[in-house]
Amino acid sequence: MTDAWTALRQAAALGTARAPLPPRTPNEPALPARNDAALALLDRAAVLGAARLAGRTTRPAPQEPTAPAPPEPTPPVSDRAAALLGTVLAQRPMLLAWLGACTAAGQHLPARWLPDVLDLTASDPDVRRAVRPVLGARGTWLARQNPQWRFALPAALPDEDTWTNATPAVREELFRAAREADPDAARTFLAARFPQERGEMQERLLRVLLGTLDDADATLEATLDAARAGRNKNAQALAAQLLRRLPGTAYQARMEARLRALVRLPPEATGLAKLNPLRDTKPTLNDYVPDADAHRDDLPAGPLKAHDALRALLPLMHPQAVLNVLGPDAALAVRRAVQLNALKALEEAHANAPGGDLAQALTKTRRHQAADDLIAHLPPADLEAHVLAWLEGTPNWHDGHHSGLHHLPAPWNARVSAAAVAALARTAPRDAPSPQQRPDYSFRWRWASAVGDAAVNASVHTPLPDLPDLPDNVTDDARQQWNDLTHTLLLRREILAAFDLKEPA
């Protein structure tokens, strides 16, 4: 039957005008004669196709039957929570909220929804991470029965066969999972495997490393140096970026030595002058003298003006290495960078490994023009004050990233939540008599995006202005989005109640 089906497919591919139909086999049933060869081919394909599917033999049973799932060590979720899971399964933010609540309650996924949830883990890393703590014994057992669900299982370093037979995309996922489960073992694995990989795979591995970077990864400097010396340009660039972000490396020691040689600091103040930082004289610059490793470290190997050398050097440095020379404290380092006309270069160094003290000092210098990455790393109290000042003023959702709102930990506290919702209500898009007077599409899109952020991040107990209290000329889309905001906050509240949890203060 298989040979007849293959011959028929080949005839269909060639076309009945170019090739005759294959002869009928003895096992084929007799069919009414057709004058049209194409119709005859379709008749036979219909019969053979059905016979091929219906006549397929079952697979032999395994010699050893699969052991049943072990008993669950954690309690099941309530019927109410299980019903809510079915409601939020297709709503990713709410699904993540449900999984987080289930983890906090120390419970496991209901058996009814295990296949549906496991299907989602195959393509969504965030869902995968959220599912692992609540899989339970039965979920773990079930995930082992289907290769498509293997990523939901607790991560372990892949063995040689698994790694060799995996596609580059699967290898990337395996390494990412290993980084999450055991960073030390993953570092050892990377150091051993990296030289054996092709350039494309090296690039993938370095991207995972960049997204999960830890100061302890400084032990991988030899691996990163090998990548910088390799042929893959993207891997070279990623390795250089990683070295800029890691403290305590030989690379950073070379950079720090170059900065010390380039910048001539004023003599340390003594006596009463030590109490007055304003008496600090300006630092100056020495001539730039490139060393033997300059080109390897992405610095000009030839002559360069001192100020140009400083602006080339700082962006390649870890902030701590800069503070070791220009500091020791962040405020002094910022003042000296201003005196050297190198503030922008210092901001680029800060972006390599953002930190609270330096972010605060740079933000005070920049005032209202502070970049988003500076705002993100303000101390918590300063960040909240910045956000509240932005919300209570005249929020411009075009410039929403300057609010710092998305850098606050979720859920937002009561004061921030109330201010955010009030600002959204105050700035809701209005209808107007003519298209020219209506808010442009960009504003409406950004406002709607901000409403969506508030729905998943604001406190579930945020008092909401009633829809009738919104201005009459608010657009229909804005009213619908406001309804969605209300519904989502109530749903989040219901999820917490189903697990008998209270929102973190």
Q: What is the pLDDT of residue 268?
A: 65
Distance between first and last Cα of the chain: 69
Assess contact for 370 and 347: CB atoms under 8 A: no
Please enumerate in sequence order all residues whose Cβ is within 8 A of that of 155, keeping only pairs 6 or more positions apart, or say none. Answer: 174, 177, 178, 180, 181, 182
Would you give the DSSP letter of residue 229?
A: T
Q: Are the beta carbons of 503 and 417 closer than 8 angstroms?
A: no
Q: What is the largest CA-CA distance in the chain?
A: 114
| Number of residues that this document lists for the chain | 505
C-alpha closest to that of 453 among 79, 119, 72, 93 = 93
Q: Which of 419, 428, 425 is nearest to 459 (CA)?
A: 419
**Measured distance CA(474)–CA(480) in Å, rounded:** 10
One pLDDT digit (tens) per residue for the chain, 505 residues: 567 788 888 888 878 888 788 888 877 878 888 888 888 888 888 888 887 777 666 667 666 778 888 999 889 999 999 999 999 999 999 999 999 999 999 999 999 999 999 999 888 888 988 999 999 999 999 998 888 888 788 777 888 888 888 889 888 988 988 898 889 999 999 999 999 999 999 999 999 999 999 999 999 999 999 999 999 999 999 999 999 999 999 999 999 999 999 999 988 644 444 455 555 578 999 999 899 999 999 998 888 899 999 999 999 999 999 999 998 899 999 999 999 999 999 999 999 988 778 888 888 777 545 566 677 777 888 889 989 998 988 787 766 555 788 889 989 999 999 999 999 988 888 876 666 666 677 888 889 999 999 999 999 988 876 655 667 778 888 889 999 999 999 999 999 999 999 987 6
Task: Answer for the pair 463, 417: CB distance below 8 angstroms, yes or no.
Answer: no
Locate tokens 């993540």: which residue? 96
**Cα–Cα distance list, 253 to 172, 256, 297, 313, 458 (Å):** 31, 5, 12, 13, 44
Peptide bond into 328 cis (omega under 30): yes
pLDDT of residue 434: 60
Residue 459 identity (one-letter amino acid): S
Which pLDDT value is given to residue 270?
43
Cβ atoms of 210 and 242 closer than 8 Å: yes
pLDDT of the residue at 19: 79
pTM for the predicted model, two decimal places: 0.71
* pLDDT at res. 198: 92
Interior/surface letters 14-37, b for 16+ CB within 10 angstroms, e for the rest: eebeeeebbeeeeeeeeeeeeeee
CA 156/CA 143 separation, integer angstroms: 15
